[in-house]
Chain A
């Protein structure tokens, strides 16, 4: 399972990038994307997916 970023709502603030324990989030062509191969929904790290928890625009959602 993995999360994705709804690019239309993303403000490109970068908060998620810093919180991701798997370094699955990166900036590609001006917008943040989550690498589904690396995303574990933070299982084993935290109680909830960190990108969704920190996102000010609520645009990190289950893929």
Chain B
């Protein structure tokens, strides 16, 4: 019984089964204080230790944590105070995964019971967020704060966070600080009201509906004020931006600079979801979303500004589990109601966190060693490549090609391996036999990749991938992703030098923002 969530058994088991692909055999190399790790193994080198301590177990704020930790959104905030052209909360489909969609709205009491029940079932749970389906601070944030107040008493080990459009934020910064909410996400799509007027038809502010430039100007001022007030209190702020081609795509570079100068810790540029079936203004008016390459270009152009988040899955406002999966259906209101009294006990969560902590200590060093090895052996003239990885967590290549619901994309080059995104796909293999149409979809989604890393793959899809110029690689099965990617890159650079392989630079791929239904097998 192993679904998408990494069970404790599986993660412990795998740890014994497969040592890191590249052992930190050369400690001198690891501590060779060049570009990355300065010999410290307690946190990534590009992060302040105090910040790392805050984000290390937060799947949305730390890329590394998203391999290990789960979050849960409770849908206690239905009301909204602005209208966005990319949002429509009217339709709910359990197969849809996008912000603003929920199956059940909860009262704060129901939310508390659900959180405690989920926390017992999923020891990876570390974060409780309130992200709508409306705005968490609309309607004076009453439900949001009522939920956090109870939670703080009942389960103090769970981190609290909320997501807001920022309009009402300045009024609530003191309350946010009071409830120890140390992560806040603000959606900021523009710093120029002219751009904003094309995204927001109206806002509701000071008992009045505002439209056009006035609306965008007020929203912009409130967002920046709220952002500064939070960062000056030491609350970590992530900024979300929806990338809308032709509306704010180029403008996002300015947004990135502005939010960085106001102290935002992380910037998450997400692709617009604009399926006409969702009934949004943009969807109905033919506004398209970006392709994978367009998104990556904008993200790369912002590199060097506020740190970029690449692992966002644009979750439902009632998502439960690791990022990229949704176990909400296991915890519907009826099921929670039927549970009766829910015990609270944080022992499993504590032992899971200890396990991750122990695993991390070795990981940071082994990554650095693998990186140093590649840096020394591969010339700077070799272009980085993209690798698609089938994984179900734990930073390992541990998913069968046919079972993958998404592929995680890593960019690996002479400077190291880094996570750059994920691509959602239909499962190729349902019940043992592969579906050829689905395979075409998978190929389109990872068309810009040089190789695909899997735990296992059948002969037929393996041949199709090879024919399309993407190398299927199963020799790193159950090993760590980054070390394997670096080992592969070293080998690839050699083969490239010999003329055995061709570069795939310039290929584009399709972003699929549609359904994601992850159920436990």
Contact = CB atoms under 8 A, between A and B. Distances in A.
- A and B assemble together: yes
B207 A14 contact: no
Contacts of A50: 207
Which range holds the interface residue count of chain A?
A: 10 to 19
Choose among A12, A50, A54 the residue with the greatest number of B CB atoms under 10 Å from its CB: A54
B247 interface: no
Contacts of B134: 13-15
Nearest to B90: A11
Nearest to B141: A18
Contacts of A15: 78-81, 134, 138-139, 204
A53 interface: yes
B142 interface: yes
B296 interface: no
A47 B89 CA distance: 28
B153 interface: no
Contacts of B80: 13, 15, 56
B81 A46 contact: no
A13 B204 CA distance: 14
A22 interface: no
A19 B89 CA distance: 19
B519 interface: no
Contacts, number: 52
A48 interface: yes
Nearest to B77: A14
A57 B142 CA distance: 22
A46 B81 CA distance: 17
Given A13-B78, A14-B79, A57 B90 contact: yes
Interface residues of B, number: 18
Given A50-B207, A53-B207, A12 B142 contact: no
Interface in A12-63: 12-15, 17-19, 46-48, 50, 53-54, 56-57
Interface in B77-115: 78-81, 83, 89-90, 105
A47 B207 CA distance: 8
Interface string B221-263: 0000000000000000000000000000000000000000000
Contacts of B81: 15, 54
A53 B204 CA distance: 7
Contacts of A19: 139, 204, 207
B139 A12 contact: no
Contacts of B208: 46-48, 53
Contacts of A47: 207-208
B219 to A, nearest CB: 15
B108 to A, nearest CB: 13
21 contacts: A11-B89, A12-B78, A12-B105, A13-B78, A13-B79, A13-B80, A13-B89, A13-B133, A13-B134, A14-B79, A14-B139, A15-B78, A15-B79, A15-B80, A15-B134, A17-B79, A19-B207, A46-B208, A48-B209, A53-B209, A54-B81
Interface of A: 11-15, 17-19, 46-48, 50, 53-54, 56-57
